[in-house]
Structure 1
Amino acid sequence: MSEVQILESVRQFMARQHGHFVHGKWIAPATSERIELLNPATEQVIATIAVGGQEEVEQAVQSAHDAFTNDWANTSPYERGVKLNKLADLVEQHAEELAQLETLSTGKLINLSRHLEVAQSVVFLRYFAGWATKIHGQTMQPSIPSMNGEKYTAYTVRQPVGVVAGIVPWNFSLMIGIWKIGSALTTGCTIVIKPSEFATLTLLRLVELALEAGIPAGVINVVTGKGDTGQHLIHSSLVKKVSFTGSVPTGIAIGKQAMSSDLTRVSLELGGKNAAAILADACIDEILPTLLQATFVHQGQVCAAPERFFIHQSKYDEFVQKVSGALQQLKIGSPLDESSMFGPLSNQPHFDKVKHYLHLAQKNNQVISGGHAIQGTGYFVEPTLLKVQGVDDPLFLEETFGPVVDVIPFTSDEELIAMMNHSRFGLTASLWTNDLAKALRLIPQIEAGSIWVNMHTFLDPSVPFGGIKASGVGREFSDAFIEDYTELKSVMIRY
């Protein structure tokens, strides 16, 4: 047992009576209602947060609007980049504190919080900071005919849209929050963040670091609460863009609401029932460690992680046997134990959802390995491998967002593509093969926004990310984010 000792600064932060962060300071909530945050490994209350209503939301949006008009939009691109890099420095300096807050809130393994959540947050912040001085338009020569010797020229300029509403899920609250903050601030926008009610603490700590980094008051605001708080935020007339990461049903509802509010810009990064195809030439022993890591990272609570495994018939029995054996070797335990390999699900509602799918699989005799919730304290379930009854099986079609994976054999490339695309989702997919020619022929046929070869799940800031079909609208990262956070203005001059 190598349980991490909780830092005193973490204990003190959790003990606070947290309010909302508006215009660079903490404000008391308008009501006495509080939300209890539970440690999913122990089910103990670790902190409470305030519930934001329309009054606090409008105050936060007005603060962001004032900061956009008076401060941030007029800050030079160079200074915006400097301040984001300073924030990255402070995240590095407080890395252990942030990692512990994230693990206590979400059940993420402490080493994952350290080396993925916090470390990659720094990488993304620095990446966004580098773009601040590289946002540009174009010049062009119009073809308007000259009647009396006059001439024409034209150019485009990208300008920040204004106030952004960032709605953040619970699975990677710090990192996804930073994706939204970095995108907004780099382009000159300001932001109001609404974290998940299950995972709020790391973003509340981050905004204090942002103020210390010299980011002006009002540029980043945080209002905590449940779904109603997010609804108030979306409906604000001063919000010019909504950036949402979360479930498909909620994303579709938010998209409709945003479009009905004077066509408010919206980007939606939603869920997926992602496919991983193991082709006939793949060596199971070679790919298994990488594939299992990509699949069961954070107990499968990753929107990009694979849930549907398509195995060539010639490899099916070997694959099922070796995956089942590997899953039984995973050490399930406290996320604060550095030797644990698998932790709890992040919250009670999600625990209940995953248990529903496990019960369905048990009822239909579809469990190959795992398949049970673990008795005792905490939201623990076994990593699970299931066989499905066909491509219309609910377990094959519905996203579990957890450590529950379906396997199905295929015999031909045509059958594989048809089954992979038999889904309303289109977020990610992967091919596992040493036959690069075949992979390159299959990639254009796969309906997904991101496709990997011999890897899955993990993202890089230089590569655009987003889904098609019901998995979302818009793209994160690379330079693709710039279009979603700026307006393209055209200027024509006669002289």
Structure 2
Amino acid sequence: MQTYHNTVSGKQTEAKEHQEIFNPATAVSLGMAPLNSEHDVDLAVEAAKHAQKSWASVSDQERRETVARIAQVLEDNSAYLSGLITQEQGKPLSGPGSRFEMQACVGWTQVPSKLELPPEIVYEDDERKDVLYRQPQGVVAAIAPWNWPLMIAIWQIIPAIRMGNTVVLKPSEYTPIATLEMVRLINQVLPAGVLNTVSGDGRIGAALTSHPDINKIMFTGSEATGRRIIVASSKNLAPITLELGGNDAAILMPGTDASAVAEGLFWGAFLNAGQTCACIKRLYVHEDDYDVVVAALGNVARQTPVGDGMDEGNLMGPLQNKMQYQKVKELVDDARGNGCDIMEFGDIPSTGYFLPITLVGNIRDGQRLVDEEQFGPALPIIRYQTLDDAVASANHLSAALGASVWANSAEEAESTALQLEAGTVWINQHGAIHPMVPFGGNKASGYGVEFGIEGLKAVTQPRIISIKK
């Protein structure tokens, strides 16, 4: 059985304890992943701190060139890492699956390698000139989730090192292997200590985020864990970028052609079996359009094969872990017990954490499947009478990561989009993130942004040089 390792100061490290990782589709063992101690966290942070000043002193152009080399490493190893993602996380190789995730890793690495953030003259007159410089924050603690384990890790790693920071990354304890292997490969082109890893559960995450030598925290995950990280950061006063998931609402405008938007709505909701922060989690449909929309979504669902992601014919995989499987099943069972219409599609394997593609009708605000983020392949479809009703329902929860409005024309949707409380509101698409477009949540979905120039600024600290003439 293969044993995987952390990377600290450019070297593979041994751990005293390990955990076995299993394929969520087949229950086949993938190997042993390291379980670290708080002492291991100290060593990784020390390595990052030791490397940071020399890395920051490297020219901006050289750092950009290094990041471009990382993109090539990711490209060259895409097939290997895609296979690991599918076996460990569950998403299929095909469609919007693990190959898609690796393409995103490459793209979100290439773009920062081409961006510049030069000094900016913020004020000048006859007597003075004030110039704003962007300096690295130091050592970044990055906590990555299990749903897009490599892509979201790249979102955290690349801007940080691009701007002269060093990183200690903790992958999710559910999906450590592919991430550890990606970091091992990236280290082939990085100076020792620039990118390090630690592995384990929330105890290790807490030790990392509260460490006195951490200067910035980046976290994607649950609201509950995000709140604990905020408390932990009081020990080092590190600024935080938090993406805490969402319960994204989509509003279908009255009279919208259901056949034209059905596929976009479907994948907006069921990408990665619904295990995506910015997936449609609630769909609001006008009462006059309800039956047509449900039928159109059902037609797409019937044509979507579910099964082991290593089979090229499958487009949807399992839930990643037993905890999530049981949560989604419980929410659907609750809706069933409350008289909702449960429409299930597809033949699912008997082995693995598979649930059928599920549309849930005759449901309303206040029921658990609507008010709680399901993070799985079950979509509640809620009738509304007026657009004001739909907007009020969409905004009534504390989650506010994304939202979308669907209409026969974009112009028809804009005024409604402006009323929705979310970090991003898409029109006639959902979850359409881009490496140049800032992305982040509102309300209980977190704060701070990632991507593009604003994402680079988020991993720096401003320094003003004020000159008397």
- Give me the TM-score of the superposition, normalised by structure 1: 0.91
Distance in 2, Cα, partners of 1:371 & 1:58: 49
Distance in 1, Cα, partners of 2:133 & 2:37: 37
1:264-303 matches, within 5 Å, as: 264-303=238-277
SS of structure 1 residue aligned to 2:22: strand
Distance in 1, Cα, partners of 2:297 & 2:346: 17
Letter in 1 for 2:61: Y
State the match for 2:396 in structure 1: 422
Distance in 1, Cα, partners of 2:372 & 2:468: 58
Structure 2, unpaired ranges of 5+: none
Distance in 1, Cα, partners of 2:225 & 2:300: 35
2:421 maps to which of 447, 454, 458 = 447
1:48-197 matches, within 5 Å, as: 48-69=32-53, 71-111=54-94, 112-131=96-115, 133-141=116-124, 151-197=127-173
- Give me the TM-score of the superposition, normalised by structure 2: 0.96
SS of structure 2 residue aligned to 1:109: coil
CA contact (8 A) 2:302 2:345 kept: no
Greater alpha carbon shift after TM alignment, 380-389 vs 471-480: 380-389
SS of structure 2 residue aligned to 1:323: helix
CA contact (8 A) 1:425 1:469 kept: yes
Letter in 1 for 2:133: V
1:312-351 matches, within 5 Å, as: 312-351=286-325
SS of structure 2 residue aligned to 1:239: coil
SS of structure 1 residue aligned to 2:250: strand
> Structure 1 residues 266, 294: closer, same or farther in 2, change over 3 A?
same
Shift of 1:460: 0.8
CA contact (8 A) 2:138 2:165 kept: yes
Shift of 1:493: 2.5
1:352-363 matches, within 5 Å, as: 352-363=326-337
Structure 1, unpaired ranges of 5+: 1-14, 144-150
Greater alpha carbon shift after TM alignment, 122-131 vs 325-334: 325-334
CA contact (8 A) 1:141 1:154 kept: yes
Letter in 2 for 1:130: K
- Post-superposition Cα deviations, 1:70-92, rounded to whole Å, max 9, x if no partner, equal x2101111111111111111111
- Post-superposition Cα deviations, 1:381-412, rounded to whole Å, max 9, x if no partner, equal 01111135432222211001111111111122
Distance in 2, Cα, partners of 1:389 & 1:402: 17
Letter in 1 for 2:42: E
> Number of residues paired by the alignment?
468
2:3 maps to which of 17, 28, 42 = 17
Shift of 1:135: 3.9
Distance in 1, Cα, partners of 2:283 & 2:386: 15
> Structure 1 residues 202, 137: closer, same or farther in 2, change over 3 A?
farther
State the match for 1:387 in structure 2: 361
Distance in 2, Cα, partners of 1:38 & 1:225: 16
Shift of 1:330: 2.4
Shift of 1:369: 0.5
Distance in 1, Cα, partners of 2:315 & 2:433: 21
| Structure of larger gyration radius | 1
Letter in 2 for 1:189: N
Distance in 2, Cα, partners of 1:186 & 1:359: 47
CA contact (8 A) 1:324 1:368 kept: no
Distance in 1, Cα, partners of 2:316 & 2:303: 10
State the match for 2:219 in structure 1: 244
Q: In the alignment, is residue 207 of structure 1 matched against residue 183 of structure 2?
A: yes
- Post-superposition Cα deviations, 1:415-448, rounded to whole Å, max 9, x if no partner, equal 1111110111101111111243332211221000
Shift of 1:375: 6.7
1:216 maps to which of 191, 195, 201 = 191
State the match for 1:480 in structure 2: 454
1:372-383 matches, within 5 Å, as: 376-383=350-357
Distance in 1, Cα, partners of 2:191 & 2:2: 24
Letter in 2 for 1:85: A
- Post-superposition Cα deviations, 1:322-342, rounded to whole Å, max 9, x if no partner, equal 223432332222111111122
Distance in 2, Cα, partners of 1:196 & 1:372: 30
Distance in 2, Cα, partners of 1:372 & 1:120: 28
Distance in 2, Cα, partners of 1:365 & 1:135: 59
CA contact (8 A) 2:335 2:368 kept: no
Distance in 2, Cα, partners of 1:371 & 1:103: 22
SS of structure 1 residue aligned to 2:458: helix
Letter in 1 for 2:416: L
> Structure 1 residues 382, 114: closer, same or farther in 2, change over 3 A?
closer
